[in-house]
Amino acid sequence: MIGFLDKIQRNCDRMLGRSKQMNCRLRPHVKTHKTVDAALIQTGGRRSGITCSTIAEAFFFQSAGRFDDILYAVPITADKFLDAMLLNKIMSNFHIMVDNDEMVSKLLEFEHQSHSKPWSVWVMVDCGYHRDGLDPESTKSIELVRRLLSAPGKVKLSGIYTHGGHSYGVESNEEIIRIATAERDAVVDFVTRLKSQVEGLGEVCVGVGSTPTCSTLPEHLNGVDEMHPGNYVYYDEMQVQLGSCQPEDVAVRVLMRVIGKYPEQNMLLVDCGWTGMSAQGSDANYGRIVGHNLCIKVLKQEAGEVTSIDGTPIPFDKYPIGCLLQLSPYHSCATTHQHRSIHILENEDSTHVRHTWSICKGW
């Protein structure tokens, strides 16, 4: 896997600019790249204010990157309490997420001899994605917040969060803007209700964001404090299809080597299967082979079958055994997960590896 530093920098600078335009802080998600180096480009060099999806990522960015303000942005479970307690102890700000009464009860019941610092808790709200989060219209959601506020020595309510992940499944910018507007309104309206109905609420951070809804912005983000996109660092062919970016913005490639030529099948065999790029995007040929009239037809575990896009005969003399092809991946988050490091070139024209960034592995 290779990346282009100029594109990564440009993508990150553009998102930092969007957050300023919307009068929000950018708390970027790091799950796409899982590298300290890219996170520092996302934050503009600040070693704080990032979002992660796994406990392994939280430890990695705290230890390898010395990041000191991390939001673990999936609902926590009790088996992770000890790790979360340690992260909470050694960091200025480690935030956990809840969206159900069961975990609130377990948090309030948790006792440990090393546990003295209150949990910093964010509440997940559902804005229409229906994957996780509280119903912002339900009185039960108000009651859950009241329960959190009932134990100030154990819990600090720090934020309200939502993620418009269903923006990945639409087909127009108008639909993305509609979801971005609903994303904003879900959390802002919920906080407005809390302020009118819950005593002792105090200041809470209000956060939204997916790469589509932060790349194609709503009219305003009034009432929102933070944006939490992540995929934009690299972008990918899925985001190109959504209109979040242009093909030239995609900042990563998977290198594939031709290991076989089969004219009778009009097919090249390459040494990269779904273990090198994931199996996502089968309906979109798993991505785009850059600069050639070629596409991936079938992915096996360790190999891929490549044919022409339009069914015309492949000019096999153009592709000697051992030559390299570059794939712009369908989903860069899933592709990153298949690798342990990414080799960074200055730009697409460079042949020199300037850096090698280590990728966090594990859960």
**Domain ranges, ordered by start, for the chain:** 2-234, 247-330
What mean pLDDT is predicted for residues 326-342? 98
Q: Considering the domain 2-234, what is its CATH architecture?
A: Alpha-Beta Barrel (3.20)
Mean of the per-residue pLDDT values of the chain:
97
Q: What is the pLDDT of residues 218-235, one digit of tens each?
A: 999 999 999 999 999 999
Q: What is the pLDDT of residues 287-310, one digit of tens each?
A: 999 999 999 999 999 999 999 999
**What pLDDT score does 48 carry?**
97
* Token pair 């799950």 in the structure block, residue: 31
What mean pLDDT is predicted for residues 91-117? 96
Contact 51, 252 (CB under 8 A): no
Q: What is the pLDDT of residues 134-154, one digit of tens each?
A: 999 999 999 999 999 999 899
**What pLDDT score does 181 carry?**
98
Q: What fold is seen in the domain 247-330?
A: Lyase, Ornithine Decarboxylase; Chain A, domain 1 (2.40.37)
Residue 235 — left, alpha, or beta (φ > 0 → left; ψ -120 to 50 → alpha)? left
DSSP-based helix, strand, coil % in the chain, nearest 5: 35, 25, 40
The C-alpha R_g of the chain, in whole angstroms, comes to: 22
Rounded Cα distance, 232 and 284, in Å: 20
What mean pLDDT is predicted for residues 8-28? 98
**What pLDDT score does 212 carry?**
98
The secondary structure of 60-108 as a DSSP string is HHHHTS---EEEEEEE--GGGHHHHHHHHHHSSEEEEEE-SHHHHHHHH
Contact 213, 251 (CB under 8 A): no
What mean pLDDT is predicted for residues 200-227? 97
Contact 3, 204 (CB under 8 A): no
* Token pair 């080799």 in the structure block, residue: 343
**What pLDDT score does 45 carry?**
98
What mean pLDDT is predicted for residues 94-107? 97
Contact 35, 93 (CB under 8 A): no
* Cα-to-chain-centroid distance, residue 226: 15
* Geometric angle at alpha carbon 276, from 249 and 292, rounded to 5°: 50
* Cα-to-chain-centroid distance, residue 321: 36
Q: How confident is the model at residue 238 (pLDDT cuts 50, 70, 90)?
A: very high
Contact 50, 44 (CB under 8 A): no
Rounded Cα distance, 210 and 251, in Å: 18
CA-CA-CA-CA torsion sign (288, 292, 293, 296): negative
